Amino acid sequence: MSEKKSSKGIKDIAYTLLDKLGSWLLIVVIAIIMTFSSDKFLTSANFINVLRQVAVVLIAAIGISFVILGGGFDLSTGMNATFAGCNAALLMKNLGWSVPAAILAAVFIGVVLGTLNGLVVTYLKVPPFIATLGMQYIIQGLIFITTNSMPINGLPESFNVFGRGYVGVIPVPVIIMLIFVAIGQVILKYTKFGRSVIAVGENETAAKLSGLNVNITKVAMYSFCGFCVACAGIVLASRMSSGQPSSGGDMALQGIAAVYIGGTFKGSIINTMAGTLVWGFMNNALNLLNVDAYWQKVVLGIIIIAAVLFDTFRANLAAKQKK
């Protein structure tokens, strides 16, 4: 029963590489183009800048990855993040809570809201798109009620470390981001929960018949998502040194985009990181090239679609070449 390896030419290897690299390749392409177009691009300051800019979205995208891998969807993450930032600010500013206590409470509320999403989707069987759309509005309403739609400024200096601090030359948010990537990757690859999420996302019936706890897995992935986005919201508030009621609205869709651009379905959180970095470097490139802010949106929209198309195209090409 021998398996004959098909002869591997240079072409084969090239295409395999293409397939393996995935969206990292896009980053390389952007980097090469930018190196020749702008002398400000290839500097460590600029790279650190990009990392700092993507940190918040990537922290949220880790949680979003789990929900999408598990066959779910979450539109409420942006609002959930914003809410966490505002809650922390309110607790510190208006109620005089200590920084750690305020952060813990704000993150806890984020986890509760994520869990609610999970419960509604799993037990009431509301489609995730609708359930989390509803949740998005509910949270937005709560934010306006609690903050009166006004920013909460003047937060303690020790709180601002999470968004503005540095360890050496590395910004603290980047360190937090890397910790989240590592945690996400370990959970996905090395825990029963990670396995269950992938199994449930792929074939819920088979997962149930294999004795996995499908319902708990589904609820827990939304809870974990709530945890990640709330943490992202804290970092964002810290970076702005303010609880901004209208700050994180875009985050939900950016996170989802990152998951698709990066091709997280291949089963790795590293892909989510790549997807977020594509976004970050693209933004950075457009800024350095002085593209008008309004046009930037148009270009970014095209990039999302193109990246996913490119991914399909690349996979097909690689498969075809290997045959």
CA-to-CA dists, residue 22 to 80, 120, 191, 285, 317, angstroms: 30, 35, 25, 20, 12
Residue list 95-124, contact with other proteins (CB under 8 A): none
- By C-beta, is 210 or 312 nearer to other proteins? 210
What are the b/e assignments for 129-165, b being 16+ CB within 10 Å? eebbbebbeebbebbeebbeeebbeebeeebbebbbb
Pairing of strands 166-167, 170-171: antiparallel
Single out the residue of 49, 213, 241, 296 in contact with other proteins (rule: CB under 8 A). Answer: 213
190 binds other proteins (CB under 8 A): yes
Single out the residue of 135, 212, 235, 278 in contact with other proteins (rule: CB under 8 A). Answer: 212
What are the b/e assignments for 266-292, b being 16+ CB within 10 Å? eebbbbbbbbbbbbbbbbbbbbeeeee
189 binds other proteins (CB under 8 A): yes
- By C-beta, is 44 or 205 nearer to other proteins? 205
Smallest distance from the beta carbon of 184 to other proteins, in angstroms? 14
5 binds other proteins (CB under 8 A): yes
Spatial separation of the C-alpha atoms in residues 212 and 215, rounded to whole Å = 9
40 binds other proteins (CB under 8 A): no
Q: Which amino acid is located at 27 in the chain?
A: I
Single out the residue of 133, 138, 208, 291 in contact with other proteins (rule: CB under 8 A). Answer: 208
- By C-beta, is 164 or 189 nearer to other proteins? 189
317 binds other proteins (CB under 8 A): no
183: which 2 tokens? 């945690």
Q: Are 245 and 143 in contact (CB under 8 A)?
A: yes
Q: Among 50-58, 125-133, 201-209, 274-282, which window interacts with other proteins (CB under 8 A)?
A: 201-209
- By C-beta, is 123 or 137 nearer to other proteins? 123
198 binds other proteins (CB under 8 A): yes
Smallest distance from the beta carbon of 205 to other proteins, in angstroms? 5
CA 274 to chain centre: 10
Single out the residue of 186, 289, 302, 309 in contact with other proteins (rule: CB under 8 A). Answer: 186
Spatial separation of the C-alpha atoms in residues 192 and 48, rounded to whole Å = 35
Smallest distance from the beta carbon of 193 to other proteins, in angstroms? 10
- By C-beta, is 158 or 210 nearer to other proteins? 210
CA 1 to chain centre: 45
Q: What residues make contact with other proteins under the rule CB under 8 A?
A: 1-6, 186, 189-192, 194-195, 198-199, 202-203, 205-213, 319, 322-323
